[in-house]
Amino acid sequence: MTPKNNPKDIKVTLLLTLMVALGPLSTDLYLPSLPSLTATFDTTISRVQATMSVFIGGFACATVIYGPLSDRFGRRPILIGGMVVFVIGSLGCMAASSIEALIAWRFVQAVGGCAGPVLVRAIVRDVYEKDEAARFLAYIASAMALAPAVAPMIGGWLHVLFGWRSHFVALTILGGLFILAVYILLRETNAQRDHSATQARQMAHNFSHILKTPQFLAFSLTLMFSYGALFSFISVGSFVIIGVLGVAPDKFGYLFFFVAIGYACGGLLAGKLVRKIGIVRIIGVGISLGLTFGLLGFGLAISGVETTPAVIIPIVGVFFACGFVLPTATAGALTPFPQIAGTASSAIGFLQMSGGAIIGFSAGYLHNGTTTPLFAVILLSWVCAAVVYVHARMRGLIRPSDDAKTA
């Protein structure tokens, strides 16, 4: 069954893509300002980095809420409500007078902003079966990468011209535009509302059922560790590029552009290949690439090679690999739960974001003025993803033959 607001419609596709991109935009736009915030608030690097980790932590916490709410009340009203909270949080960040206030308001901003990614995944699951969902999510991921590719460049200009608060002015305006666009363009896709989805006992039952499903755990844990590799760079990349390599804040965005394009290219290629080889093999290719580029970056780092190409080339490769893994693993994890897609999307988001927050915080905590800790954390993340994937394949929890049946 194809709903009237089929995501293939160009306007709705663009809206869904931008909604998914809201999380990366909320972090990447102010990346060029992170090093200067240490002086602005007279604080430490790890304290400033906490504004990133708490944002991801807020994402993780709120994902548990949005899925069941959307299963009960529908995707559209919950999406609008989330955007209202995002706007309130952005206004609070803009007015923050201390690093503690900024951290607190970033949490509020994240609670609202995570409505986009969680509910877009559920909307796609409402419309598509597994391989088609993976293909659509891969293309969304590719298009989505263009926004965070441009965001640090815009953020660098805003920082130089107007200061760090201007980033949150821009996000406030963007959130308001999303509220208007969802109200005008998006119709409801949840045709099987679960009136018990928000009851405590039913929520506990649904989450328990999801977390006990081996296929879900295999895909979602692979997703979590792969995202950790990506978020490690997002979390401390500006400290490395600006602080260690000496790149100017307004030039940082140009380097990040190449990194994000790597993710876009990976997503595009995965979208083209998924019908031919299936999501399980696509994920295997992505993990192999991630390990290769993670090892390359770590090898250069421990050899004392701290140049822009020695950092950017491996990171582009890591993001390219994530373009293979993240959308396809998401589709695989969602597949068993057509009746509670919102709750399943919440569980995926919680694991992805909480894991990303911990891994990203570790990269920030270990940062010592060199490139070694960053690449050590990235490589370890890919090793963990590989262990989960290989174990799942050996135990038969995920099989390429399953893809063949649904292709």
Q: DSSP labels for 144-200?
A: HHHHHHHHHHHHHHHHHHH-THHHHHHHHHHHHHHHHHHHHHPPP---S--TTTTSH
Mean pLDDT of 374-378: 95
| pLDDT band, very low/low/confident/very high, at 4 (cuts 50, 70, 90) | very low
Q: Tell me whether residue 180 is exposed, middle or buried, using C-beta atoms within 10 angstroms of its C-beta: 0 to 12, 13 to 18, 19 or more.
A: exposed
Is pLDDT above 60 for 401? no
For residue 121, CA distances in Å to 30, 118, 331 come to: 26, 6, 8
Mean pLDDT of 156-170: 87
Mean pLDDT of 371-391: 95
Q: Which two structure tokens, joined as six digits, stand for 43?
A: 């604080």
* Residue pair 19/178 in contact by the 8 Å Cβ criterion: yes
Which phi-psi region, left, alpha or beta, contains residue 8 (left: φ > 0; alpha: ψ -120 to 50)? alpha
**What is the Cα–Cα distance from 127 to 144, expressed in whole angstroms?**
19
**What is the Cα–Cα distance from 128 to 147, expressed in whole angstroms?**
25
pLDDT computed for residue 144 by the predictor: 59
Range with the poorest average pLDDT among 14-23, 98-107, 286-295: 14-23
**What is the Cα–Cα distance from 70 to 243, expressed in whole angstroms?**
43
pTM for this entry: 0.73
pLDDT computed for residue 109 by the predictor: 95
Mean pLDDT of 28-57: 82
| pLDDT band, very low/low/confident/very high, at 352 (cuts 50, 70, 90) | confident
Sequence-distant (6+) residues with CB within 8 A of 200 are none
pLDDT computed for residue 3 by the predictor: 39
| Rounded percentage of the chain residues whose pLDDT exceeds 70 | 87
The DSSP 8-state label assigned to residue 33 in this structure reads G
* Residue pair 243/304 in contact by the 8 Å Cβ criterion: no
Is pLDDT above 50 for 158? yes
pLDDT computed for residue 404 by the predictor: 40
- Return the higher-pLDDT residue of 2 and 329: 329
Choose the most confident range, by mean pLDDT, from 316-330, 334-348, 352-366: 316-330
pLDDT computed for residue 399 by the predictor: 73
pLDDT computed for residue 360 by the predictor: 79
**What is the Cα–Cα distance from 55 to 78, expressed in whole angstroms?**
20
Tell me what the pLDDT averaged over the chain comes to: 83
* Residue pair 144/17 in contact by the 8 Å Cβ criterion: yes
Q: What is the pLDDT of residues 89-114, one digit of tens each?
A: 999 999 998 999 999 999 999 999 88
Choose the most confident range, by mean pLDDT, from 239-243, 257-261, 297-301, 365-369: 297-301
**What is the Cα–Cα distance from 401 to 393, expressed in whole angstroms?**
11
Is pLDDT above 80 for 199? no
Is pLDDT above 90 for 376? yes
Is pLDDT above 50 for 1? no
- Return the higher-pLDDT residue of 402 and 251: 251
Domain boundaries, the chain: 10-184+210-397
Choose the most confident range, by mean pLDDT, from 89-93, 154-158, 256-260: 89-93
Q: Which two structure tokens, joined as six digits, stand for 202?
A: 């039913």
| pLDDT band, very low/low/confident/very high, at 129 (cuts 50, 70, 90) | low
**What is the Cα–Cα distance from 191 to 188, expressed in whole angstroms?**
8
**What is the Cα–Cα distance from 151 to 167, expressed in whole angstroms?**
10
Choose the most confident range, by mean pLDDT, from 107-121, 250-264, 285-299, 362-376: 285-299
Range with the poorest average pLDDT among 144-158, 201-215, 342-356: 144-158
pLDDT computed for residue 37 by the predictor: 87
Pick from 127, 175, 151, 153: which is nearest to 13 by CA?
127
| pLDDT band, very low/low/confident/very high, at 18 (cuts 50, 70, 90) | confident
For residue 310, CA distances in Å to 2, 43, 251, 297, 318 come to: 47, 30, 17, 7, 13
pLDDT computed for residue 140 by the predictor: 66
Is pLDDT above 90 for 347? no
CATH of domain 10-184+210-397: 1.20.1250.20
pLDDT computed for residue 294 by the predictor: 96
pLDDT computed for residue 221 by the predictor: 94
Choose the most confident range, by mean pLDDT, from 3-17, 27-41, 112-126, 372-386: 372-386
At residue 197, what are phi and psi to the nearest 5 degrees? -65, -30
**What is the Cα–Cα distance from 181 to 64, expressed in whole angstroms?**
25
Run of H or E including 89: helix 75-95
